[in-house]
Amino acid sequence: MPSSKLLWLLPLVVLCSCGNEQIGSELRANSTPATETIADTSIGSEAEAFPPDERKLVRTADIECRVPDVLAAVTRLEKCVRAIGGSVEESRISNNAEPVKMVAYKKDSLKEVRVCNTTAELRLRVPSAMLDSVMGVIPAGALYVEDRRLTQTDVTGKYMENELLNRPGDLHSTTKALQLAQDVTDAINVQRYADERKEQIVRRHIENQNLLRNVEYSTIVVRYSQPSVVYAQAVADAQYAAAVPYSAQLDTALRNGTALFRFLLLALVTIWPILLIAAIAMGIVVYTRRHRRIPVRQ
d(CA 227, CA 116): 9
The reply to whether 106 falls in a domain is: yes
Q: Does the global pTM surpass 0.75? A: no
C-alpha 121/C-alpha 117 separation (Å) is: 14
Residues of the chain with pLDDT under 70: 1-53, 169-184, 186-187, 190-191, 293-298
197: in domain: no
Tens of pLDDT along 36-46? 433 344 445 55
Q: Which pLDDT value is given to residue 172?
A: 53
CATH number, domain of 68, equals 3.30.70
* Cα–Cα distance measured from residue 80 to residue 82, given in angstroms and rounded to the nearest whole number: 6
How many domains, in total, are found in the chain? 1
pLDDT (0 to 100) of residue 297: 54
pLDDT of residue 238: 77
Residue 114 CA to residue 127 CA, distance in Å, equals 41
Instruction: Specify if 60 maps to a domain.
Output: yes
- Domain range for residue 227? 52-154+222-236
pLDDT at 171: 47
d(CA 194, CA 172): 12
Q: Which residues of 255-291 are buried (b: 16+ CB within 10 A; e: fewer)?
A: eeeeeeeeeeeeeeeeeeeeeeeeeeeeeeeeeeeee
Q: What is the pLDDT of residues 252-268, one digit of tens each?
A: 888 898 999 888 888 88
Please tell me the distance from the alpha carbon of residue 249 to that of residue 256, in angstroms, as a whole number: 10
DSSP three-state, residue 111: strand
Q: Per the domain annotation, does 67 fall within a domain?
A: yes
